[in-house]
Chain A
Amino acid sequence: MTFDCKDLERALAIPELLPDAREHAKVCDACRRELWLWSEMSAVAPGLREDWETPELWPKIRQTLAAQQKAAKPHGLGRRLGGRFDWRIMAGIAALLAIGFSIFLITYSRPAPAPAVAQDSDFLTDQTLKEVEKTEAAYRASIDKLTRLAEVKLSAAENPVAIAAREKLLMLDSEIANVRSTVSHNRFNAQLQADLADLYRDKQDTLKEILQRAE
């Protein structure tokens, strides 16, 4: 091959042509300078790396992580189970208990329709059950709408936050399916209904957070 100055650019892109370029550079000052510059860029580039000591950085990170771990540390049953729950599950359980308790209080602070009739406070009346089921259906429909909106944002994102959110939604959906299945066999159990409502609330909060982040 007859190598010319105008072939140099192509030779830089195709390593197989470089021997010809080097041969040509022996008799061409301009191409020799260009070839030298090309390889010099790679040679000096590692020297551009910025390096400095930060002895305080890891202790800061460790301290923050330790504080987070402490805050999310399992207590009671969780510790006895060997602390194998991760922070999301623990946070979910904490939220579930808090919201469940609120719903429980709201449900039982309503005036009793028939005070003369003694009731077992662990179970719902027919009337209350109908109300709960009606509310659940409406709530579920609105969450489904929210899910469709969030799914568009989530499926497009691949960052760790989106991955964690997808994982949390899967976990919540699975838990919701479990509790609904249990509820279908024990519809009058107030605690189960409260647990279900709590899971829906958690899912709604997660979806809202996803949409807010996307904005």
Chain B
Amino acid sequence: MPLAMAAGRLTARSDADLIQASKRGDLSAFEEIYASHAGRMKSIAFHLLADRADAEDAVQEAFLKIYRAAGAIQFDSGLAPWIYRILLNCCYDTGRKRKRQAEAPLAAEPPAMPVNVPVQVAIRHALARIQPQYRMVFWLFEVEGFRHSEVAAILEIPEGTSKKWLFEAKRELKRLLTESRA
């Protein structure tokens, strides 16, 4: 843990301060950005890539890109959406690379819905069966706790679309869960 964080200065430095300091080569400032976001980034990357090593690679690549592109950031929509947009691009790149390297295509069909399992397990299975854009919005909003405005900024969609896709995601999940429990 960086000393700055241990001293409780994490909240004292805004995202803008941290990115400015990072641009000047201050790696401890960049470490604060890492400490604030890495956990959530790993979780999102794992959700997309289903492999911890790949998720870590994607997060590492994302932070290297974030550092290199720090000079180009525009704070209109805050630091977080920008960071997570870069992460999603890195995950898609990693996914594409993995597909190219795989001898056999990755499982195209999601596994069958299990019956009589806890709701959490059933949701995990059901998520694999819904449309990717609905799944992504559900994950960012319900699992990672982003607000609709942040989800919209990360996915570069209107806020209304984020709300609509979340509703569609939950409706699909409800249908699948109801069927599996019938």
Contact = CB atoms under 8 A, between A and B. Distances in A.
Contacts of A50: 42-43, 46-47, 55
B171 A12 contact: yes
Given A50-B43, A52-B42, A57-B56, A64 B173 contact: no
A51 B120 contact: no
A52 to B, nearest CB: 6
B86 A37 contact: no
Interface in A162-186: 163-164, 167
B52 A52 contact: yes
A90 B178 CA distance: 61
B167 A13 contact: yes
Nearest to A40: B119
Contact of A163 (B55, B56, B69, B89): B69
A27 interface: no
Contacts of A47: 120
Nearest to B25: A69
Given A34-B174, A51-B43, A57 B38 contact: yes
Nearest to B120: A44
B17 interface: no
Contact of A167 (B52, B72, B142): B72
A62 interface: yes
B134 interface: no
Interface string A141-169: 00000000000000000111101100100
Contact of B178 (A34, A83, A159): A34
A108 B89 CA distance: 48
Nearest to B64: A64
Main secondary structure of the interface of A (DSSP, over half): helix
Interface size class of B (residues with CB under 8 A): 35 or more
A60 interface: yes
A86 B119 contact: no
Contact of B31 (A37, A41, A54, A62): A62
A41 B174 contact: yes
Interface string B129-165: 0000000001100111100000000001000000000
B34 interface: yes
A50 B68 CA distance: 27
Contacts of B167: 12-13
Interface of A: 9, 12-13, 33-34, 37-38, 40-42, 44-52, 54, 57-58, 60-62, 64-66, 68-69, 83, 86-87, 158-161, 163-164, 167
Interface of B: 23, 25, 27, 30-31, 34-35, 38-39, 42-43, 46-47, 52, 55-56, 59-60, 63-69, 71-72, 85-86, 89, 119-120, 123-124, 127, 138-139, 142-145, 156, 167, 170-171, 173-174, 177-178
Rank and list the top 7 A-B pairs by shortest CB-CB distance, nearest first: A160-B69, A45-B142, A163-B72, A50-B46, A44-B120, A50-B43, A45-B143
12 contacts: A13-B167, A41-B123, A42-B170, A48-B120, A48-B124, A50-B42, A50-B43, A50-B46, A62-B31, A65-B64, A69-B27, A86-B71
